[in-house]
């Protein structure tokens, strides 16, 4: 036989304080999970635009327009072909480190969410580069991508580069 229980109380031994502590711990865990778990997936969904544009600038200055063994030194032939391809859509025949089938700066850099503009400047003026020897063409202004909007948020990064022995600035803007 079981021991008798007086007054309808169960024999579990749970007090009001036990219940309050248990519910409090449960609610704290639920609040923690709801507050922090969504943030775990942020790095996989979207990156900060400032970081993205900085990476684009580094990629252009060190890989796409030059040689990784000499970072920030642009290859004049590949630079001319890159800007010609971006401006006219003409595929390049030069052996350069960018996809010769893309016709926008954003596509070349692997972006489908941002508009990207790349310009090489010297003292605020856009630099022009003569066509490489053996290639038919004229001097090309080193500017590619859609025009930078006058309104809205535009992220800019600058890289100091060496082009034909002259120090220039590679300016990358995205919005």
User: Does residue 4 surpass a pLDDT of 60?
Assistant: no
Q: What pLDDT score does 85 carry? A: 92
> What per-residue confidence (pLDDT) applies to 134?
77
For 7-22, the pLDDT digits (tens) are 555 666 778 898 999 9
**Given its phi and psi angles, is residue 98 left (phi above 0), alpha (psi -120 to 50 degrees) or beta?**
beta
157 beta partners: 172
Distance CA 160, CA 132 (A): 22
For 16, the token pair is 């009001």
Look at residues 165, 122, 149, 141 and name the one whose alpha carbon lies nearest to residue 82: 141
Q: Which range, 66-70, 101-105, 169-173, has the best average confidence (pLDDT)?
A: 169-173
Q: What is the pTM of this model?
A: 0.71
CA 141/CA 108 separation, integer angstroms: 19
The pLDDT, as a whole number, for residue 2 is: 53
Neighbours of 119 (CB within 10 A): 19
The DSSP annotation for the chain comes to: -PPP-STT--SS---HHHHHHHHHHHHHHHHHHHHHHHHHTHHHH---HHHHHHHHHHHIIIIISEETTEEEEE-HHHHHHHHHHHHH-PPP-S--SS-TT--SHHHHTT-SS--EEEEEEETTEEPEEPPPTTS----EESEESSPPPSSS--EEEEEEEEETTEEEEEEEEE-
Q: Which pLDDT value is given to residue 140?
A: 93
Q: What pLDDT, on a 0 to 100 scale, did the predictor assign at position 72?
A: 93
Q: What is the torsion angle, in degrees rounded to the nearest 10, for the CA atoms of residue 151, residue 155, residue 161 and residue 163?
A: -40
């Amino acid at each position: 036989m079981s021991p008798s229980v007086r007054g309808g109380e169960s024999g579990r031994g749970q007090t009001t304080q036990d219940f309050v502590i248990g519910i409090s711990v449960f609610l704290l865990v639920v609040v923690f999970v709801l507050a922090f778990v969504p943030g775990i997936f942020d790095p996989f969904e979207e990156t900060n635009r400032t970081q993205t544009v900085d990476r684009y600038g580094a990629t252009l200055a060190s890989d796409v327009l030059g040689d990784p063994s000499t970072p920030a030194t642009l290859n004049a032939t590949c630079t001319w072909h890159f800007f010609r391809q971006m401006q006219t859509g003409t595929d390049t025949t030069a052996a350069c480190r960018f996809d010769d089938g893309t016709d926008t700066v954003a596509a070349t850099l692997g972006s489908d969410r941002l508009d990207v503009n790349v310009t090489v400047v010297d003292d605020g003026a856009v630099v022009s580069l003569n066509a490489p020897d053996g290639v038919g063409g004229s001097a090309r202004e080193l500017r590619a991508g859609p025009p930078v909007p006058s309104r809205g948020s535009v992220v800019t990064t600058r890289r100091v580069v060496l082009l034909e022995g002259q120090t220039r600035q590679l300016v990358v803007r995205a919005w």
